[in-house]
């Protein structure tokens, strides 16, 4: 499963043509991709250019859940509303994984803190610590 969000958006005719122009300027053959894929690639390229010019910050992914939380909550609220509308009663909410203790009986925040500490010392880690880092990476972000 890939990280990120699947979104559905309307793109103006002018921007549609600009997406095709950008793909052509990059040497891509537009007919080898879906328009959705082209749009995603062009947007990613533009965002990478903004990061390289320091117009927007370079992020390492640790802020993802905090930044996306308002949008994740809306998605859950919409599902809860639809379920209530269809079946007449709310479905019992399930706690998100970040609120449940992990197998080691440590909170999500404690595991993220350990991951960040290992990440910051990467060059000095032992093989055992690198294995722990990779395990935490798989557990937290995949």
pLDDT for residue 39: 92
In a domain, 36, yes or no: yes
pLDDT score recorded for residue 114 = 87
Number of independent structural domains in the chain: 2
**Does the pLDDT of residue 10 top 90, yes or no?**
yes
Instruction: Render 68-136 in DSSP notation, one character per residue.
Output: HHHHHHHHHHHHHHHHHHHHSSPPPP---GGGS--TTS--HHHHHHHHHHHHHTGGG--HHHHHHHHHH
Q: What is the mean pLDDT of residues 130-137?
A: 82
pLDDT score, position 18: 93
**Domain range spanning residue 120?**
98-142
Domain membership flag for residue 17: yes
Residue 140 lies in a domain: yes
Q: What is the pTM of this model?
A: 0.50
Say if 57 falls within a structural domain: no
* Highest-pLDDT range among 17-26, 57-66, 126-135: 17-26
pLDDT at 73 over 80: no
Give the chain's mean pLDDT: 78
Percent of the chain, pLDDT > 70?
73
pLDDT at 34 over 70: yes
Q: What is the mean pLDDT of residues 42-55?
A: 88
């Amino acid at each position: 499963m890939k990280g990120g969000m699947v979104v559905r958006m309307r793109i103006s005719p002018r921007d549609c043509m600009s997406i095709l122009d950008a793909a052509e300027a990059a040497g891509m053959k537009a007919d080898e991709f879906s328009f959705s894929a082209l749009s995603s690639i062009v947007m990613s390229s533009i965002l990478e250019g903004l990061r390289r010019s320091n117009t927007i910050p370079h992020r390492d992914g640790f802020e993802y859940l905090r930044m996306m939380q308002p949008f994740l909550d809306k998605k859950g609220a919409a599902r809860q509303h639809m379920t209530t509308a269809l079946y007449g009663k709310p479905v019992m909410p399930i706690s998100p994984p970040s609120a449940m203790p992990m197998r080691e009986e440590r909170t999500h925040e404690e595991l993220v803190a350990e991951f960040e500490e290992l990440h910051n010392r990467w060059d000095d880690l032992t093989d055992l610590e690198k294995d722990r880092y990779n395990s935490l990476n798989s557990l937290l972000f995949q």
